[in-house]
């Protein structure tokens, strides 16, 4: 009995400008794989946008308009979970080094490639894809929790930065759910890490930036260095490459973001970008409806479906939050604060909008027990608090 019966075939994409070669590959592999072919890098990128779930992408090196090095680099950005394999003739071996560096390819095969060697490379590529997916599940379950715990430890030293990171993470989680891409856990990690650079500045400066107050020349220089400070902190951490790519895209042009397509990096960058922009606008006092209107004018950057999801997110159906006044020690995890929490010296401990967690309550009880008696307004509808 054929072992493939009842088992979903892995999806592979072949790119080559030789039509007869593509036809032969499709015939050779269609029994074992779901084969999609494309005659050029541009056409293949369109297929990557339209079709999800490619396990392996195989590209010829020498192609007109877009060579294999450039194409596989784009694949890495748009579909980082796909294993990348390069095919080239002997004459292109030296030039193919660019693909190895740019596209981080998994295998390098020379043409003509024997069928057995090609099949073996595909099997290894699919196995690598499955291994990476398994690893990502472990990362999702452990890395997000570790990042959340780290940020909560740092929250007391810079509550403004952590409060914003937590709000953005909550907004991103809601948007990914509405857009049915909840598997993009890297976007939530990027949301939490998006404010990490603020921990390199004083809490007073972070508060001034947060509320949009005037900065001195020296403070402006410190504020401008915040993104670079953050990147230096986590750029060498293994397996965070997609997170770093999403964060880097925050400084890209609309056209550059559009080129990323609708994969995890492209859609993730749009989701995080709109969450950040919306938070900045509303923090400075702009009504939500006005903020939505301004963001609609930037549809070229964020995309209509992301903006639609944001509109639905900030105007949810159902019962509104019930606001009550309690002492901080009576607050429960999941409640959202409607007031700031400050210690006896007036230092900000927790900003407005913060979603209460047990770890933070325990920490405040240790360093500023008097703050636990402060009366605060809280929204009682449960909110996710990782």
- Same-domain check for residues 215 and 274: yes
Last residue of one domain, picked from the residues 268, 288, 317: 317
Q: Is 317 left (phi over 0), alpha (psi -120 to 50) or beta?
A: beta
Model confidence at 125, pLDDT cuts 50, 70, 90, reads very high
Tell me the pTM: 0.59
In DSSP terms, which residues pair with 10 in a beta bridge? 33
- DSSP letter at 355? B
User: Does 167 fall in a domain?
Assistant: yes
CA angle in degrees (0–180, nearest 5) for 20-35-66: 65
Tokens, residue 49: 């946008």
pLDDT digits (tens, 9 = 90+) for 156-207: 667 777 778 888 988 999 999 999 886 678 888 888 888 888 877 887 888 7
Q: What percent of the chain has pLDDT over 90?
A: 29
pLDDT at 251: 86
Element (DSSP H or E) covering residue 212: none
Beta-sheet pairing, 107-111 with 348-350: unpaired
237: in domain: yes
Residue where one domain finishes, among candidates 287, 317, 347: 317
| Interatomic CA distance for residues 184 and 174, integer angstroms | 12
Same domain flag for 231 and 184: yes
346 and 265 assigned to the same domain = no
What's the domain range around 252? 156-317
Looking at the fold, whether 163 and 311 belong to one and the same domain comes out as yes
- Does 83 map to a domain? yes
Handedness of CA 146, 148, 153, 157 (dihedral sign): positive
Domain count, the chain: 3
- One domain for residues 385 and 328: yes
Instruction: Compute the distance between CA of residue 85 and CA of residue 113 in angstroms, rounded to an integer.
Output: 12
Residues 308 and 350 in one domain: no
Question: By the 8 A CB rule, do 374 and 327 touch?
Answer: yes
77 pLDDT band, cuts 50/70/90, is: confident
pLDDT grade for 304, boundaries at 50, 70 and 90: very high
| Residue 81 · residue 183 · CB < 8 Å | no
Instruction: Round to whole Å and give the CA distance between 286 and 273.
Output: 18
C-beta of residue 81 within 8 angstroms of C-beta of residue 264: yes
Q: What DSSP character marks residue 317?
A: S
Looking at per-residue confidence, does 153 or 246 come out higher?
Answer: 246
* Residue 77, burial from CB neighbour count under 10 angstroms (0-12, 13-18, 19+): buried
CA distances from 9 to 49, 129, 279 (A): 20, 13, 43
The verdict on 265 and 299 lying in the same domain is yes
Query: Distance (Å, rounded) from C-alpha 177 to C-alpha 364?
Result: 32
257 lies in some domain: yes
DSSP β-bridge partners for residue 87: 60, 109
Same structural domain for residues 308 and 328? no
Residue pointed to by tokens 């939530």: 188
- Give the pLDDT score at 12: 95
* The most confident of 53-57, 178-182, 334-338, 355-359, by mean pLDDT: 53-57
Residue 141 lies in a domain: no
* Entry field: residues in the chain: 386
- DSSP helix/strand/coil, 380: coil
Residue 151 within a domain:
no
Residues 98 and 172 in one domain: no
pLDDT of 117 reads 92
Q: Are residues 182 and 113 part of one domain?
A: no
How many angstroms separate the CA atoms of 278 and 168, rounded? 9
Using alpha carbons, select from 173, 136, 150 the residue that is nearest to residue 268.
Answer: 173
What pLDDT is recorded for position 329?
92
Please name the helix (run of DSSP H) or strand (run of DSSP E) that holds residue 344, with its range, or none. Answer: none
**Within this chain, do residues 75 and 103 fall inside the same structural domain, yes or no?**
yes
What are the pLDDT digits (tens) for 28-43? 998 999 999 999 999 9
pLDDT(384) > 50: no
CB-count burial class (<10 Å; 0-12, 13-18, 19+) for 330: middle
Q: Is the pLDDT of residue 95 over 60?
A: no
Task: State the pLDDT at residue 202.
Answer: 80
d(CA 213, CA 231): 25
CATH of the domain at 82: 3.40.50.2300
């Amino acid at each position: 009995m054929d072992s493939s019966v009842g088992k979903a075939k892995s999806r592979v994409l072949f790119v080559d400008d030789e039509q007869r070669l593509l036809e032969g590959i499709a015939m050779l592999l269609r029994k074992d794989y779901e084969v999609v072919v494309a005659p050029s890098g541009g056409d293949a990128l369109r297929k990557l946008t339209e079709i999800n779930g490619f396990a392996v992408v195989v590209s010829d090196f020498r192609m007109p308009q877009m060579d294999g090095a450039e194409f596989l680099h784009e694949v890495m950005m748009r579909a980082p979970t796909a294993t990348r394999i390069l095919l080239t003739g002997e004459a292109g071996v030296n030039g193919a080094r660019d693909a190895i560096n740019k596209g981080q390819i998994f295998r390098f095969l020379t043409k003509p490639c024997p069928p057995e060697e090609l099949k073996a490379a595909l099997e290894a590529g699919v196995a690598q894809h499955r291994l990476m997916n398994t690893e990502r599940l472990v990362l999702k379950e452990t890395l997000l929790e570790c990042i959340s715990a780290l940020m909560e430890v740092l929250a007391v030293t810079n509550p403004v930065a952590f409060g914003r990171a937590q709000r953005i993470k909550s907004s991103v989680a809601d948007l990914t759910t509405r857009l049915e891409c909840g598997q993009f856990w890297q976007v939530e990690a990027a949301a939490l890490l998006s404010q990490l650079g603020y921990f390199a500045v004083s809490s007073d400066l972070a508060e001034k930036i947060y509320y949009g107050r005037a900065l001195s020349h020296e403070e402006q220089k410190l504020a401008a260095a915040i993104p670079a400070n953050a990147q230096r902190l986590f750029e060498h951490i293994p397996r965070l490459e997609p997170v770093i790519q999403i964060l880097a895209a925050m400084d890209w042009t609309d056209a550059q973001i559009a080129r990323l397509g609708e994969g995890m990096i492209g859609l993730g960058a749009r989701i995080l970008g709109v969450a950040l922009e919306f938070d900045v606008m509303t923090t400075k006092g702009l009504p939500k409806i006005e903020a939505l209107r301004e963001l609609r004018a930037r549809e070229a950057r964020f995309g209509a479906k992301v903006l639609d999801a944001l509109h639905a997110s900030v105007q949810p159906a159902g019962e509104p939050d019930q606001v009550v006044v309690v002492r901080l020690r009576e607050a429960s995890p999941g409640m959202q604060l409607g007031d700031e929490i400050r210690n006896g010296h007036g230092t900000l401990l927790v900003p407005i909008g913060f979603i209460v967690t047990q770890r933070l309550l325990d920490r405040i009880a240790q360093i500023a027990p008097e703050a636990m008696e402060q009366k605060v307004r809280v929204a009682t509808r449960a909110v996710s608090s990782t």
